[in-house]
Structure 1
């Protein structure tokens, strides 16, 4: 299998003592990886390092064979992401926002913009100013922006945040279809454990800044009634619930 994401001995500790310690992880092409952990475990810190938003104390992240620390532009060339919040230019329409984002990439035309708006359920809001959008609508538009350039890797921090039930089902289907049909690799952090169970094929649990277990969803569900039961068991074994 082709390794698409490699996290190697990654460390980042803040003055308050929180952060991440010695994170190692490999994710293959077409995987949908679910990154789980309690609040403050270090998930967003890890994802910010993966996307070059902050620097680690030590260690490295390689995406498609390129070091984020040493070859940032090459490592990010085929990556789409949302970290923490899906932001927009609030005085522009949904279409105008994506048109603006398309300037950073080659060969993104109006047909592609309409396509990502359609699959995220935002085409009917194409010409509306985003200032008036609900949180769920902004999240859908953020997903559209993340997949606009046909990325090989998509990194999503809380992608189901603010979505209604229909929206969650739509997002799950988009992610699974892209992974299956285009071999897009997803790295997803979420507190909505049921959606992670229904979406991801591989799970990693971060606790206290350390990766405590990595397994396939299939193996987990062969041994536990649900991903939630597995998560609770793993966290209890490591000191808190």
Structure 2
């Protein structure tokens, strides 16, 4: 299997002692990787380092074989992401926002814009401005922007935040379909254990900035009734609960 994301000895510790410590991780093409952990575990810090938004204390991240720190443009060329919050120009319509973003990509036309708006369920709102959108609709627009350029890797920080039940189901299906049909690789952080269980093919548990364990969802559910049981067991086993 092709390694798409390689994280080696990644460390970033802030003055308050929080952050991530010595993370090692390999993610393969078509995986839906779930970065599971409570708020404050270090998930967003890791994703900021992965996408070049924060400089680490040590370690490296390679995407498609290119180091984020030595060859940033090539590493990020085929990556779409949302880290922390989905941002948009409030004075432009949903369509105009994506039209603006399309300038960064080749072969993204109006048909592609309509396609991603349809995929995320907001095509009928394409001519409305996001300042009028609910949190869930803003999140859908952010997902539209993240997948607009047909990326090979998509990094999503808490992608289900603000979505209602119908929206969560829809977003899970979008992620699964892209992974299955287009072999898109997803790196998803969340503290919503149930949604990670239903969405992700492999899971890494992050606790107090350290990676406790990584395993496939299939293997985990062979041995535990639920992902929540696995999470509690792993945290207790490592003496951190």
TM-score normalized by structure 1?
0.98
Residue 84 of structure 1 aligns to a residue whose secondary structure is: coil
Deviations 1:115-150, CA, capped at 9 Å, x for gaps: 000010010000001100000000000000000000
Residue 107 of structure 1 aligns to a residue whose secondary structure is: coil
CA distance in 2, matches of 1:95, 1:200: 30
Matches within 5 A, 1:221-240: 221-240=221-240
Question: Partner residue of 1:110?
Answer: 110
CA distance in 1, matches of 2:65, 2:40: 29
Aligned-residue offset at 1:21? 1.0
Deviations 1:156-193, CA, capped at 9 Å, x for gaps: 00000000000000000000000000000000001111
CA distance in 2, matches of 1:220, 1:18: 28
- The CA RMSD over aligned residues, in Å, is 0.8
TM-score normalized by structure 2?
0.98
Aligned-residue offset at 1:39? 1.8
Question: Partner residue of 1:218?
Answer: 218
Aligned-residue offset at 1:38? 1.8
Residue 188 of structure 1 aligns to a residue whose secondary structure is: strand
CA distance in 2, matches of 1:32, 1:240: 26
Matches within 5 A, 1:55-94: 55-94=55-94
Aligned-residue offset at 1:240? 4.0
Question: Partner residue of 1:46?
Answer: 46
Aligned-residue offset at 1:235? 1.6
Q: Which stretches of structure 1, 4 residues or longer, exceed 6 Å deviation after superposition?
A: none
Aligned-residue offset at 1:155? 0.2
Tell me whether 1:209 sits opposite 2:209 in the alignment: yes
User: Which segments of 5 or more consecutive residues in structure 1 lack a partner in the other structure?
Assistant: none
CA distance in 1, matches of 2:115, 2:201: 26
CA distance in 1, matches of 2:143, 2:237: 35
Tell me whether 1:175 sits opposite 2:178 in the alignment: no
